[in-house]
Amino acid sequence: MSDYYGNQPQDVRPGIDARRLWAGGVATAVVAALLAVVGLLIARGIFEVEVLAPKGEGVWGNASTTTYALVAAAVALLATGLMHLLSVATPAPSQFFGWIMVLVTLIAVVLPLTLTVTPSAKIATAVINLVIGLVIAAVVNSMAASARTLHRRRSQQSATPPTPPPTRQQWTQQDPPTRYYDR
């Protein structure tokens, strides 16, 4: 069955514009890194909480602001890669991505709470990780939605080329328009 223009039905498959997705992923990595720096500056500078600077050798060691920002950027790039993989391999990429990011963010929130540091440092680190995780998940998910495309494949039912719509000259020869003043 063809439409008015003679086009055959098409097989439509969802796809993703990889360039747009990864450009957005790099931008998300910059946002995540800056968010980590802002979170540490607020915790250390305003609230005077020694975030990621435990007295002993804990899980985090003596991580610096730069390292924390780079890890946040790397997580954003990993999230972009995960979204790309899910977009080409699963039927509902946003749902799977959402669940995975919620669980990864939950791990990032709970992990600092297990450290042997002051409670204020535990809570501040957990809050910073929560904000970074939620921002990465929301931004990657929304930019992946804008990078989605539809790939069309023509059906092989008919080998005849589609017929173009009639030109204005053909239309006027076949069915001249009726004018109100010709009545």
Q: Identify residue 122 by its one-letter amino acid code.
A: K
CB atoms within 10 A of CB 146: 10
Amino acid 58: pLDDT? 38
Tokens of 150: 């539809």
Residue scoring higher pLDDT (48 or 112): 112
Q: Is the pLDDT of residue 142 over 90?
A: yes
Name the strand (E) or helix (H) holding 62.
none
CA atoms within 13 A on the CB side of 121: 13
| Tens-place pLDDT, residues 113-131 | 998 889 999 999 999 999 9
- Token output for 6: 């003679």
